[in-house]
Structure 1
Amino acid sequence: MTTEIATLGGGCFWCLEAVYQELQGVQQVESGYAGGHVANPSYEEVCSGGTGHAEVVRVTFDPAIVSYREILEIFFTIHDPTTLNRQGNDCGTQYRSVIFYHSPEQEETARQVIAEMANVWDAPIVTELAPLPAYYKAEDYHQNYFRQNPLQGYCAFVVAPKVAKFRKIFADKAKSA
């Protein structure tokens, strides 16, 4: 089986992780950090805004089941790509909207999807598009966060609605319960 990797930042990584874990064709979702200038940053360092990293998810998927284009279409549905360095109440460059591509083909697909999504949103899309720089896995307690903490306040009020939106709009692409 051939797999591909998508690396995306759309606010808090817990939201993206929870959604992509439910998508057919996804083998693994890992929360991490990319796009900064500090090696092996900690969560606290990233949250300070001083490292330049974005909170990202690394999605390993089977392109025979779900395409990179579909991964991006979901990405643009579950976060707001028009707010610079912000998702809801989460502010700072670590929460920016960003696509880190792994190949020229991914870059081209991302450019196409961004252009198409410009017709969907009322404000300009500010999603950054860049080649994947160094990637660092986030601390273990960030992995599978929503699954392990569904009643935690942030999860209940921020993550759960995004998962519900995914389930409603992309019901045909969700893994069966």
Structure 2
Amino acid sequence: METVGLGGSCHWCTEAVFRSLKGVGEVDQGWLSAQGHEEMSEGILLRFDPARIDLYTLIQIHLYTHSCTSNHALRHRYRSAVYAFSPDQQRAAQVCLKALQPEFEQPILTQALRFDAFQPSRHEIQNYFYSNPQKPFCQMRISPKLSILLSQFSDRVDDRKRHVLEQLPVDIK
């Protein structure tokens, strides 16, 4: 298993997307910092099996499920980043980001940064979506991202999670 960090949207949203994938083991949401950046931003750490899902696919899904080209006012809280755990993983993430740029009309703002620290969220809010799929926040904010996952990356969705995703309200899909 390898570890990578991802940030760019609220950690509940990002966590739900990546908990839904085949080849992803543990997902922890919380606050991440990168080397050279003092401030922490919302994000996740995930452990994945590179034989089942590669870094390129993880980054591609990440870019499509958050505003990777928008330099909005909350970017300090939601830093669009891949947090790499080694120089090799950081270089691989940079290559992936460059290769994926042609799929987007605007420049991708997502950076490949070196992981520095992680502070997990409280235990009670971990696995937020799958513990509370009917809550208004889940329906309004997380479900649209999961609909993108289901429509564009259906072959990557874990069959154990698929039944929940297929129950999303029709007007959100």
TM-score, normalized by length of structure 2? 0.84
Q: Which residue pairs with 2:80 in the alignment?
A: 97
Asked whether 1:129 is paired with 2:112, we answer: yes
Q: 2:39 is paired with a residue of what secondary structure?
A: coil
Select 1:66's aligned residue among 53, 57, 70. Answer: 53
Point out where structure 1 has 5 or more consecutive residues left out of the alignment.
38-50
Q: Quote how far apart the aligned CAs of 1:5 are.
A: 0.6
Select 1:117's aligned residue among 90, 93, 100. Answer: 100
Q: Which residue pairs with 1:55 in the alignment?
A: 42
Q: 2:116 is paired with a residue of what secondary structure?
A: coil
Asked whether 1:107 is paired with 2:90, we answer: yes
Query: How many residues are matched?
Result: 158
Q: Deviations over 1:2-40 (max 9, x none)?
A: x00110002101111111111101111110111179xxx
Counterparts of 2:144 and 2:58, CA distance in 1: 19
Q: Quote how far apart the aligned CAs of 1:135 are.
A: 1.2
Counterparts of 1:159 and 1:99, CA distance in 2: 20
- Superposed CA RMSD in Å reads 1.8
Identity over the aligned pairs, expressed in percent? 28
Counterparts of 1:31 and 1:15, CA distance in 2: 10
Misfit runs of 4+, over 4 Å: none
Q: Quote how far apart the aligned CAs of 1:84 are.
A: 2.1
Select 1:17's aligned residue among 15, 18, 25. Answer: 15
Q: 1:132 is paired with a residue of what secondary structure?
A: strand
Counterparts of 2:25 and 2:82, CA distance in 1: 19
Q: 2:102 is paired with a residue of what secondary structure?
A: coil
Counterparts of 1:117 and 1:94, CA distance in 2: 24
Point out where structure 2 has 5 or more consecutive residues left out of the alignment.
161-173
Counterparts of 2:156 and 2:55, CA distance in 1: 13
Counterparts of 2:114 and 2:100, CA distance in 1: 20
Change over 3 Å in CA distance of 1:92–1:100 after alignment to 2: same
